[in-house]
Each structure stands twice: as C-alpha cells, then as structure tokens.
Amino acid sequence: MEKPVLALSELQLGGHVQKFGIAQDQLLPLRSDLMPLFPWGGIKRGTVVEITSSVLTMALLAEATTQGSWAAVVGSPEMGLAAARGQGVALERLVVVHRPPLDQAAAVIAALVDALDFVVVGPRLLQRSVDAHRLSARARERGSVLVSRGGWLEGPDVSLHVRAQHFTGMAEGHGHLAGWSIDVETSGRGAASRPRRARLTLAEAADTTLESAATSTAVSGSAPPHDEQHVVAFERVS
Amino acid sequence: MTIWCPDWPVVAARRVGETDDERVAILRANRVVAASSAARSEGVVRAMRRREAQSRCPDIVLLTDDPGRDARAFEPVAATIDTFTPRSEIVRPGLCQFPTRGPSRYFGGDAALAEKLTAALSAIGVEARIGVADGPFAAALAGRSSTPIVPAGESTTFLAPYAIDALVAVEGGRAVTRAARSTRRASTSGTNDADALALIDLVDLLKRLGIRTLGALAAMPFLDIAARFGPLGERTWRLAAGLDERPVSSRRPPADVVVSAELDPPVDRVDTVAFLAKALADELADRLAEHGLACTRISIEAETERGDHLARLWRHERAGATGGLTAAGLADRVRWQLDGWLHALHKAGDDRSDSGFGGITVLRLVPDEVVPETGRQLGLWGGAGAADERAARAFARVQGLVGPDAVCTVHETGGRRPADRMELVPWGDKREVPASAGQPWPGSLPLPHPTIVYPFPLPAEVLDSTGTHVRVGGRGEPTAVPAVLRVSAPGAITTGAPTTATPTTGAGERDTGLSGSATRRLSQMQTITQWAGPWPLDERWWDVENHRRQARLQLTTEVGDAHVVVLEGGAWWVEASYQ
C-alpha cells in the first residue's frame, strides 16, 4: 500500500521538490519575470551563469543590488552603465574593473568572488580553463554568483540565450525606439538542464523630461532655424 | 598640561637608531610630514614633495613614515610622564596630555611641575615643549608660544589673538598636508584624514567670512555657529573659546564592555600581537556598537609573566568631532602600545641578562570614556554593513593588485551622448556631484538607454537600396532611405575614430570587449528593417576640442539587433547598441 502513495506525492510535487530543497538564504533575489528561467525560484548562490546579452546581465543584477548585494563588472568596458541604472541596478553597489591585466585577471576575480554576491566576468578574460575551474569552485564555496559574458571555459550551470529581440516605436524615420522585449531560453546542467523560456519586457521607467526633450529635438530637426549653417553641418571633417 | 615633542617622527627615527644624520625628513605618500631642524633651516617644510625636498637639501636622509616606530619610541617618554601622574593620556605618539590639578599641587605649582618634567625628559634625551592651560587645545598652543604657562581662567584671552589657522596647525596633526587636500584621497588613514579635511574647509570658509582670529570666532553667538556649521562648528567654537573640548555628554562606560584575552603561552612577539590587537579591537567595537556608544579614550592594560601590571591611556585625537575611535583606529593604538611595551620588556630582559623576560599574559581593553554614538557621517556608499565592509576590503585588495585607478565606482554625470552619461571614479576617491547630473539634457537619446556603448565606435557604412552612401542634409533629413548597414570588423579600426571613452577609462587598448560571436554578427552586411531619426546634435561649439557635431540614427537590422549609428565628420560609426 505504501508504494503508490509515495509515487503520487512525488508526482504532485513534481518540479517543486527542487525548489523546496534549497534554503531561502541560499537564494539571491531576482526580478520576478526572470524567476521562471531558474529552477530554484531565485538564483542559487554558488552558480555560474552564462549570459552574453548585456541587458539580460543588468536585469539579473537589478533586484539583488537594490536589496544590498554588491556586484562587480570585470572586463566589460562596453557595458552601458546608464542603461544599467535604467534597468534597475543600484549603481552605488556596483564597481567596474574595466581592463584588468590578463595575467592578473584570475586573481582580481578571485578577490571579488570572496566578498561580493555577483561578479560579472567579461569574455576572453580567462585564458586557462584551470582558472575557470578554480573560480567556479571558489564561487560555490563562498556562495557568490559568477556571471560569464561568454566563453566560460567550464560548462556553466545555466546559460541564458536571447532567442529574439522585439523593438517597437520606430517606423521609417519616425518615432524612436520605445518598447523592447526579448525572448530568453535557458540551457544548463542538472536541475537547469530542462530548457525554459520567458519573454521579458525591458522598458525603463519613463523619464518624461528626457522623452519630451528628445521628441522636441526630433521635431525641430525637420525645421531648423539656421539653415545655412546646417548645410555644411555633418559633412565637415572636424 | 600638554607635552609636545616637536617633529616626533624624526626624533623617533633617531632614537630607534635608523639614522643619526643631521638632515632628516619623514615622508608619507611622497610628501614631507616631518623634518629635522637642520633640514628645516635649509628650507624643507611640511607638505613638500620628495623631489623638492631633495633639491633644497641634496644630502637629506629620507625615511618613510612609520607610526609603529613613532609609538615604540614614545613608550619611554610615556613611562617617564607616568612617574609624575597616573592619568596621562597619549593623543598620538609625540603628544601627550594630563590634568595637572593633583600633580601640580604635589610638586608645588604648574611652573615647578613643568620644570621637573622637562628635566626628567631631557634626562632620557627627549626635548619636549610643555604647555599649561585650561584646556588641551590652549595648552598645546601655549607649549609652542613664549608663555608656556597660561594662568587658570585666562585661556580665552590667551587664545583670542591667535589666527584661526592655529586650529589646523594643532588639530590637524600629522594627517593634514596640502597634498592630502589636493588629492582628496582618504585611503590610508581613512576617517582621520577626512575629519582633518573637513576642518581645513571650515577654517577656510571662516576666513572668507571675515573671521580671522580665534577671538573673533569665540565672540560669535554659540547657537548661530552650531546652527550654521553643525557639530564640527560647535566643537571649533568651544576650542576657540578656551572651553574643554570634551562633549558634555561623555560618561563612564558600562562595566561589561571590557574585552580581554588570556594569552597562553605568553606573547612576546610583535607580529603575534598585531593579530591579537585587531581581533580584540574588533570585538570591543562590536560591544560598544551594541550599547550605541563610541569610545573616545581607551585604556590598554596588560599583565606580564612577572606579574607587572601595565596600563596606558590613549585618547582619540579629535574626540567629539566625529564620535569615537574606529575599530581600525583602536587596533592601531593597541598594536603600537604593545609594540612599545614588548620592546621595553625585551630591553629589561637584556639588561638583567637572564634568559627569560616577561611575556604578556593578559591583554585587556577598557573603554575609559565613551560618548553616545550619534552616528557618523556615513560614507558615500551607504551604511557600514558587514557586506559593505567586506566589499570595501575586497576592492582595496584589487586596488593593491592592479592599481588604485582600476576599481571604479559609477556616478551619473550629465551628457547627451551615451558615453557621456556616466563617469567612473576610482574606488575610495571623493567626488563632487557635478551640477550637470540630473539635468534634462535636451537632445539626448530617448529612453531606453543603449546597453552597449562602444569605448571606441565601430566604423560603419549606411547605404540606401541602390548602394549609395546615405548622408544627412542641412535640414536634418537623410538624402535617401537607409537600407543597408555595413560594419567594419573591429580589428580594422584605424585611428581617427571619435573616441567616446571618458578620460578616466584611459587605456589605449582598442578592445571592444565583445565576444567573438557578437563581433561576427556585427561585421556582416545587414539589411535595415526599421529606422528612426536622424537627430542632429551640435554641442560645445564654443570649445574647439570638445565640439561635436553629429546626426544620429536608431535602426534595427534583419538579425534583430538595434543600434545607434552616428554620422560625424562625414563618416558613420556604430556608437552604441541595444543588446
């Protein structure tokens, strides 16, 4: 009689078994629409996440940094930091190390992994897989999350891929980019091996001043007051 | 009474035998913090650069600043002063103070006490200046003046003619140099420097307001000063008025905040002690924080194997200005003191020429005077939570690895172009918020911000459906409908690209930071699916170097990317992307 009951409970709990198997303090807070992408109902400390998309990286850091976690971005000088703030990252708890010398990169990342909850590692920063291996182990031990911007030499625990991007608001010279959403799919190991999909809307909190200002510029662009001056405008080599 | 040994770092270096040269200067962070009188007569002054000092005085001996050495050498002085009074407190190595009421009656007046003390100190080879006045600040000034003993109750009149800079000269102590002010880096001694800088700023402001002497400051109504300048102004006023600097609210600490450690086996090595000092100081700071207290005077007590009981009082330099000693400050003082004692013990052991000497068996930290922790001004990065402190240590470590400018925090500045919007400031540097932050900046791109801003824009071509280059006319209209975007491979970037990198990002390395796949994806020829703009931008026309004239387009391509491309100087560049 016992066996069917057990089987039933397993069936009912299904995927939730995993979720409840992890203590809350092992999870870092996450934007609610990113939650379905991770099997743990949050992002588990000690994992290595691979995200090539810049905006997705920011979205991942947003909730945790506003709740007190520190994050470092190493070797990604192209990351748009204004956008990071727009996506909700608390800049007062973000530091950037733009161009660490390659021979020191592993040591720098290790020092940051020891103390911070998130360390974003730029592509091509780690030259040897043994470094990646060591850093993954260290992140596991210290309970911090390593976010690789691609090219992680060990298999990451979870990879987030952008399948498609949808932009709205632009049309043949009119309007401006206003709406932005992305379709994300995951792959990974262990509990994360089942692919998950989600659509994220990445609209920033509306900043009306900027918006209206930019619109007015666009309008005035079609009827500039100083015509002659503008004729030479963009062709002149400055 | 204040006992002040001029140029103590120099004297200390001589006493521990590091040098016996006439011309000596002590350097910290490439600036002179103390110089011997011989060096001074050749024109070496405080805050001077190393090179400048060397040029004035070519055969000068330059030593690096070492607070541990200063403290170690000061121990015999403190021990001598202890024979006169049990309540002497060390403010910093080289400066010591004690209340004279009991001792001066015993020795027959302030003058007699000062004389005996001077004699006792010169017997151990220390030249000291002694000042007596109602408060420590007035006493310190009296020690430098020709009238070292100010009669009781006359401190206010004594102080009145002094220029207000005296506050900085006495209070600033060793930390303040003009250098510290110009770099505004509070890295080495942390809050102490920050306090000193705040004081310099205040004095500077007062001078500009026409308050040039201590008397003028003391004549101001206290409430007005407090209302205008806050706690620092309040305290400065008390000093100028010759009142006791101690805040009225200081009180005896509760009994259970004493921390102590039994050392078994007895400790006789300085490096072991350093660890111990740190641990004990941290524990004490935690205990005090639990009570909401901050320590302004600490008694460091130790017992030795031979049953000696040693105790010494250390006082926070700027007590009352910013709360009490920090954990790091406590640890430093404990380490210096133990270092001093251990040296004395070693010496005693050598003198008796027996094999063993007394190691330290018990170490105790007793907060002697505490004030309610009113909450220090929090740092730029919020509270001093455990995670924040850990992070700060990690950043300091990384700075140690790759240089102080490598770890940057991000601050908003204003700007129209994507790369102008944020500024990177090295970790630990103070930064003044520019007025431009938070302004509307008409003409900047509408939200959302591009998530990738290329440090060096990628050269590109924008073509119409027939393959001709698209231009933007004077009316801000494109000459044709943009249909194709072609981006040159980042490897092919030549010079002449308008750099969007802010100066702080520095490095000349042209690394787009993109992964291989992203680069490949970009370098293909792509059909433009949607586009918006162009928006003209013409900024800083009054500034030849920073003048920018651009037309910007937003566009999406068939592969689903969105970019910001700009036309500048007749060429197109991909300046930023949404990715």
- State CA B394 to chain mean position distance: 17
Contact B530 A167 (CB under 8 A): yes
Pick the residue from chain A with its C-alpha nearest to B420.
A82
> To probe the interface with A, which of B447, B471, B545 has the most A CB atoms within 10 Å?
B447
B559 touches A at CB < 8 Å? no
Interface of B with A in 85-124 (CB under 8 A): none
Q: Which residues of A touch B441 (CB under 8 A)?
A: 210, 213
Whether the bond between B446 and the residue before it is cis, its omega within 30 degrees of 0, is no
Q: Which residues of B touch A126 (CB under 8 A)?
A: none
**Least confident piece of the model among A10-24, B36-50, B303-317:** A10-24
CB A158 within 8 A of CB A38: yes
Please determine, for residue B498, whether its predicted confidence score (pLDDT) is greater than 80: no
Contact B569 A236 (CB under 8 A): yes
Q: How far is B325 from chain A (nearest CA, A)?
A: 25
> To probe the interface with B, which of A95, A182, A209, A211 has the most B CB atoms within 10 Å?
A95
Please determine, for residue A50, whether its predicted confidence score (pLDDT) is greater than 80: yes
Direct distance between the N- and C-terminal alpha carbons of chain B, in angstroms, rounded to an integer? 69
> To probe the interface with B, which of A53, A81, A92 has the most B CB atoms within 10 Å?
A81
Residue B262 identity: E
Please determine, for residue B250, whether its predicted confidence score (pLDDT) is greater than 60: no
Judged on CB neighbours under 10 Å (0-12, 13-18, 19+), B498 is middle
pLDDT band at A204 (very low <50, low <70, confident <90, very high): low
Please determine, for residue B571, whether its predicted confidence score (pLDDT) is greater than 80: yes
Q: Percent of chain B at pLDDT above 90?
A: 0
The pLDDT assigned to B265 comes to 76
For chain A, the C-alpha Rg in angstroms (whole number) is: 22
At B538 the three-state DSSP class reads strand
Higher pLDDT, B327 or B431: B327
Q: Which residues of A touch B425 (CB under 8 A)?
A: none
B513 touches A at CB < 8 Å? yes
Backbone angles phi, psi at B331, to 5 degrees: -60, -40
B568 touches A at CB < 8 Å? yes
CB B266 within 8 A of CB B305: yes
Which residue among A78, A167, A207 places its CB closest to the CB of B447? A207
Please determine, for residue B375, whether its predicted confidence score (pLDDT) is greater than 80: no
pLDDT band at B70 (very low <50, low <70, confident <90, very high): confident
Higher pLDDT, B322 or B56: B56
Let me know the angle formed at the C-alpha of B42 by B38 and B44, rounded to the nearest 5 degrees.
90
Q: How far apart are CA B559 and CA B452, in angstroms?
A: 17
Interface of B with A in 369-428 (CB under 8 A): 380-382, 385, 387-388, 390-391, 393-395, 397-398, 401-402, 406-412, 418, 421-422, 424, 427
Please determine, for residue A17, whether its predicted confidence score (pLDDT) is greater than 60: no
Average pLDDT for residues B302-311, to the nearest whole number?
A: 80
Average pLDDT for residues B220-243, to the nearest whole number?
A: 83
> To probe the interface with B, which of A104, A234, A237, A238 has the most B CB atoms within 10 Å?
A234
Interface of A with B in 166-225 (CB under 8 A): 167, 169-178, 180, 202-204, 206-207, 209-211, 213-218, 221-224
Q: In what order do the strands lie in the sheet with B129-131?
A: B129-131, B2-4, B95-97, B89-92, B309-315, B293-304, B360-372, B259-267
Mean pLDDT over all residues of chain B? 75
At B157 the three-state DSSP class reads helix
DSSP secondary-structure letter at B504?
G
Interface of B with A in 247-276 (CB under 8 A): none
> Rounded to 5, what percent of chain B is helix, strand, coil?
35, 25, 40
Contact B554 A176 (CB under 8 A): yes
Q: At a CB cut-off of 8 Å and minimum separation 6, what does B156 contact?
A: B218, B241, B242
Q: How far apart are CA B393 and CA A114, in angstroms?
A: 10
Average pLDDT for residues B217-245, to the nearest whole number?
A: 82
Pick the residue from chain A with its C-alpha nearest to B385.
A68
Contact B401 A104 (CB under 8 A): yes
Q: Which residues of A touch B433 (CB under 8 A)?
A: none
Q: Which string of DSSP letters, residue by residue, matches B383-413? A: ---HHHHHHHHHHHHHHHHH-TTSEEEEEE-
At B521 the three-state DSSP class reads helix
Contact B446 A204 (CB under 8 A): no
B538 touches A at CB < 8 Å? yes
Residue B442 identity: P
> To probe the interface with A, which of B451, B514, B552 has the most A CB atoms within 10 Å?
B451
Q: Which residues of A touch B462 (CB under 8 A)?
A: none
The pLDDT assigned to A231 comes to 34
Backbone angles phi, psi at A184, to 5 degrees: -115, 140
Q: How far is A210 from chain B (nearest CA, A)?
A: 6
CB B191 within 8 A of CB B322: yes
B562 touches A at CB < 8 Å? yes
A5 touches B at CB < 8 Å? no
Contact B450 A80 (CB under 8 A): yes
| CA torsion, ordered B67, B70, B73, B79, to nearest 10 deg | -90
Let me know the angle formed at the C-alpha of B412 by B407 and B416, rounded to the nearest 5 degrees.
120
Contact B568 A238 (CB under 8 A): yes
> To probe the interface with B, which of A45, A177, A183, A211 has the most B CB atoms within 10 Å?
A177
Higher pLDDT, A7 or B48: B48
A29 touches B at CB < 8 Å? no
**Least confident piece of the model among A56-70, B44-58, B561-575:** B44-58
**Least confident piece of the model among A31-40, A95-104, A202-211, B521-530:** A202-211
Q: How far apart are CA A45 and CA A176, in angstroms?
A: 39
Please determine, for residue B403, whether its predicted confidence score (pLDDT) is greater than 60: yes
Interface of A with B in 61-100 (CB under 8 A): 68-70, 75-87, 91-100
Pick the residue from chain A with its C-alpha nearest to B441.
A210
Residue written as tokens 């001589």? B14
Contact A115 B473 (CB under 8 A): no
Nearest to A94 by CA among A112, A76, A72, A78: A72
The pLDDT assigned to B336 comes to 77
Pick the residue from chain A with its C-alpha nearest to B415.
A82
Average pLDDT for residues B304-312, to the nearest whole number?
A: 79
pLDDT band at B156 (very low <50, low <70, confident <90, very high): confident
The pLDDT assigned to A207 comes to 43
Which residue among B406, B474, B550 places its CB closest to the CB of A227? B474
Contact A108 B421 (CB under 8 A): no
Which residue among A91, A175, A213 places its CB closest to the CB of B440? A213
pLDDT band at A236 (very low <50, low <70, confident <90, very high): very low
pTM over 0.90: no
**Least confident piece of the model among B34-43, B105-114, B184-193, B322-331:** B184-193
Pick the residue from chain A with its C-alpha nearest to B561.
A165
Q: How far apart are CA A166 and CA B281, in angstroms?
A: 57
* Sign of the four-CA dihedral B135, B141, B142, B144: positive
3-state secondary structure chain A: CHHHHHHHHHHHHCCHHHHHCCCHHHEECCCHHHHHHCCCCCEECCCEEEECCHHHHHHHHHHHHHCCCCEEEECCCCECHHHHHHCCCCHHHEEEECCCCCCCHHHHHHHHHHHCCEEEECCCCCCCHHHHHHHHHHHHHHCCEEEECCCCCCCCCEEEEEEEEEEEEEECEEEEEEEEEEEEEEEECHHHCCCCEEEEECCCCCCHHHHHHHHHHHHHHHCCCCHHHHHCHHHCCC
The pLDDT assigned to A85 comes to 84
Instruction: Provide the pairing of β-strand A118-121 with A71-74.
Output: parallel
Instruction: Provide the pairing of β-strand B24-28 with B61-64.
Output: parallel
Q: Which residues of A touch B412 (CB under 8 A)?
A: 82, 85, 91
Pick the residue from chain B with its C-alpha nearest to A69.
B387
Q: Which residues of B touch A169 (CB under 8 A)?
A: 532
